[in-house]
């Protein structure tokens, strides 16, 4: 404090009182958010107690991330603190969402050891809009179901829902990561061919009068019977398994059923379901891999050679 009875502070004294640097205070003064009340005879800036209080407010607003333009508007009474805070929350939400996307992409790149080209693709996929994500899913659905009008409509509904990619407005890094992998998967020609083959098998097995949901009923029955066999410790190749298969398949061609099950129990299809659950914010769905594997092994044991 200068010793002239005015109670005014030099910029150095103000810096010591507030813990800020002289350089910061000078910059804020130059930007017009902290004007000195006067200057000394030597031209040095002088500040009073009100300036010190104003400086504390400026520091708080700056620590909360507000730019000097908004700080000046608050200090000049053009906007209230509440108005600026609300606008800043919106901006922060967008920034946080973008950072989560960035984190997810970088985590995936680090985990996979991706190349620069792969990283570029992943970043592009992660930042697609909701409409762009829907177009990718609809293109996938159109290709695997084209011309297969007799396919079970319940399967079409479930696949469309699974691939809907309903990322929330504020997705978690895990959801963004799962969407990137899901988008790559459903755009992979080999995966599309695999899915197309499974749908073709389903369409070939259904007549015009077969009710919707029959395919899902068959899968539920398979899971139930195979689960019972596994709990009893029944080996797939055991003679006792013949009766179980007869109850499940009737007189259907075992070799043809095996082809269909192998097409529908692929590990990549299981991964598709797993990723879809994460993206859509659902609990992981059981894959029943052991039950399907048991039936496949039982059929292979009876169709070998």
Residue pLDDT, tens place only, 241-276 = 888 888 777 777 778 777 777 766 667 777 888 888
Q: What is the pLDDT of residue 6?
A: 64
pLDDT at 217: 63
φ/ψ of residue 177, rounded to 5: -60, -45
| DSSP states along 50-77 | HHHHHHHHHHHHHHTT--HHHHHHHHTT
Question: For residue 10, what are the β-bridge partners?
Answer: 46
Percent of the chain with pLDDT over 70: 87
Q: Taking a C-beta distance cutoff of 8 angstroms, is the pair 49, 7 a contact?
A: yes
Across the chain, mean pLDDT equals 80
3-state SS assignment for residue 213? coil
Decide the pairing of beta strands 45-47 and 38-39: antiparallel
> Rounded distance, CA 152 to CA 214, Å?
8
Yes or no: say if 192 and 272 are a contact pair by the CB < 8 Å rule.
no
Nearest to 287 by CA among 301, 279, 275: 275
Give the residues across from 38 on adjacent strands: 46
| Beta strands 38-39 and 9-10, pairing class | unpaired
What digits encode the pLDDT tens for the residues 187-201?
A: 899 888 888 877 777
| Per-residue model confidence as pLDDT tens digits over 158-193 | 776 655 566 776 677 788 888 888 888 888 998 888
Higher pLDDT, 91 or 37: 37
3-state secondary structure at position 38: strand
Say if residues 39 and 45 touch (Cβ distance below 8 Å): yes
Q: Is the pLDDT of residue 216 over 70?
A: no
Query: Residues 118, 121, 125, CA angle at the centre, nearest 5°?
Result: 140
Max CA pair span of the chain: 109
What is the spatial distance between Cα 305 and Cα 300, in angstroms, rounded to a whole number?
9
pLDDT band for 127, please (50, 70, 90 cuts).
confident
pLDDT in tens, 15-45: 998 888 999 999 998 888 888 889 888 888 8
The answer to whether residues 294 and 235 touch, using CB atoms and an 8 Å cutoff, is no
Please give the Cα distance from 264 to 287 (Å, whole number). Answer: 12
Do 201 and 255 meet the contact criterion of CB atoms below 8 Å apart? no
């Amino acid at each position: 404090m200068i010793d002239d009875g005015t109670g005014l502070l030099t910029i150095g004294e103000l810096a010591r009182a507030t813990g800020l640097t002289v350089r910061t205070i000078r910059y804020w003064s130059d930007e017009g958010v902290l004007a000195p009340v006067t200057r000394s005879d030597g031209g040095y800036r002088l500040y009073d107690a009100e300036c010190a209080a104003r400086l504390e407010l400026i520091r708080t607003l700056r620590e909360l991330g507000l730019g000097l333009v908004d700080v000046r508007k608050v200090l000049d009474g053009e906007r209230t603190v509440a108005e600026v805070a609300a606008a800043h929350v919106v901006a922060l939400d967008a920034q946080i969402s973008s950072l989560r996307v960035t984190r997810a992409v970088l985590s995936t790149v680090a985990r996979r050891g991706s190349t620069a080209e792969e990283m570029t693709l992943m970043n592009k996929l992660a930042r697609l809009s909701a409409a762009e994500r829907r177009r990718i899913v609809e293109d996938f659905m159109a290709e695997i179901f084209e011309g297969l009008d007799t396919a079970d409509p319940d399967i079409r509904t479930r696949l469309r829902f699974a691939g809907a990619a309903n990322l929330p407005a504020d997705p978690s890094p895990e959801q963004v990561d799962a969407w990137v992998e899901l988008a790559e998967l459903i755009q992979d020609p080999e995966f599309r061919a695999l899915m197309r083959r499974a749908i073709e098998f389903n369409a070939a097995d259904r007549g015009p009068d077969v009710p919707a949901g029959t395919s899902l009923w068959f899968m539920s029955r398979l899971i139930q019977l195979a689960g019972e066999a596994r709990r009893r410790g029944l080996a797939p190749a055991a003679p006792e398994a013949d009766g179980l298969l007869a109850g499940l398949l009737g007189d259907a061609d075992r070799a043809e059923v095996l082809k269909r099950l192998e097409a529908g129990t692929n590990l990549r299809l299981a991964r598709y379901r797993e990723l879809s659950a994460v993206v859509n914010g659902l609990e992981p769905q059981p894959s029943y891999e052991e039950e399907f594997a048991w039936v496949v092994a039982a059929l292979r044991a009876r169709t070998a050679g």
